Amino acid sequence: MVCLNAEVIRSSMSTLPRPVAALCQVTATPDKEANFSACKQLVEEAKERGASMVFLPEGFDYIGSSREETLSLSESLTGDTISQYTQLARKLEVWLSLGGFHERGHDWESDRRIYNSHIIINDKGDIISVYRKSHLFDVELPEKGVSLKESAFTIPGPSLVSPVQTPIGKVGLGICYDLRFPELSLALQRHGAEILTYPSAFTVATGSAHWEILLRARAIETQCFVLAAAQVGRHHEKRSSYGHSLVVDPWGEVLGDCGGEKPGMVLVEIDLEKVRSTRRNMPVQQHRRDTGFYHSLEKT
């Protein structure tokens, strides 16, 4: 396990300095001010340790205890919360991946619903990309104690967004439940992604069963690094999260795991040569047939 006080995980492939990414693991509550304070401390620590980009999990702003509370605490992209983070990025000169912001929808005044939005802020404090979660978690698993209906208050995002060029490489954006849909990761890879990121707040039941397996599968099939910042622990009396913020390399090897007990951080060097060499040595994408081939069963 590699957490807050650990050294940066260094690549075995090169002695040259590589850009460092930091994945933060937090326990968000309905207290937005306390959540920002905790995240700010982790971002500052990451910058001190040499990170050029810091990743925060889904629900970094808050995790509400009811539909009503979740909606009432939401903001627009021009509200105080994102303003605080743009100022932080500018002050520290660090890139931020804000992995799941409760963004008031375009028709908020009439329909009172939100987007689950992944926001990328550059080191000048500019918002350069916003991806709105496209697959919503509507799942009932009574035997596992899981019951969530995200669509009751969330609008599905209209489209994917192009991978973003960052100091650590070209990053393709997803959020949590998107992890279960390989079509999304493959689309991002085809458009140049070298790194996929899935900020999450997995339930304990689904996380213990599927989290690492899914992340490693997405890395192996796309031959990308996968960075997944996670919520951990008890948010309020109705909800807990699995944790285990994870870094996976393009071969599917887990490079860092922040554990399932407490907030912390994983720091890792991103060596893009590992992406290139993996794809060169096993050219999966070149072996892929045309799209029509995979739809040929539908015509029979």
Query: Which residues are annotated as catalytic?
Result: 58, 133, 176
Q: What are the b/e assignments for 224-242, b being 16+ CB within 10 Å?
A: bbbbbbbbbbebeeebbbb
**Tokens of residue 18, six digits:** 């590589």
Which SS3 state, helix, strand or coil, does residue 148 take?
strand
Question: Rounded to an integer, what is the distance from CA 107 to the centroid of its chain?
Answer: 26
- Which tokens belong to 91? 């002050």
Q: Could you give phi then psi for residue 224, rounded to 5 degrees?
A: -115, 160
Q: CA-to-CA distance for 254 and 261, rounded, in angstroms? A: 18
Distance CA 259, CA 43 (A): 19
Are residues 184 and 151 in contact, defined by beta-carbon separation less than 8 angstroms? Answer: no
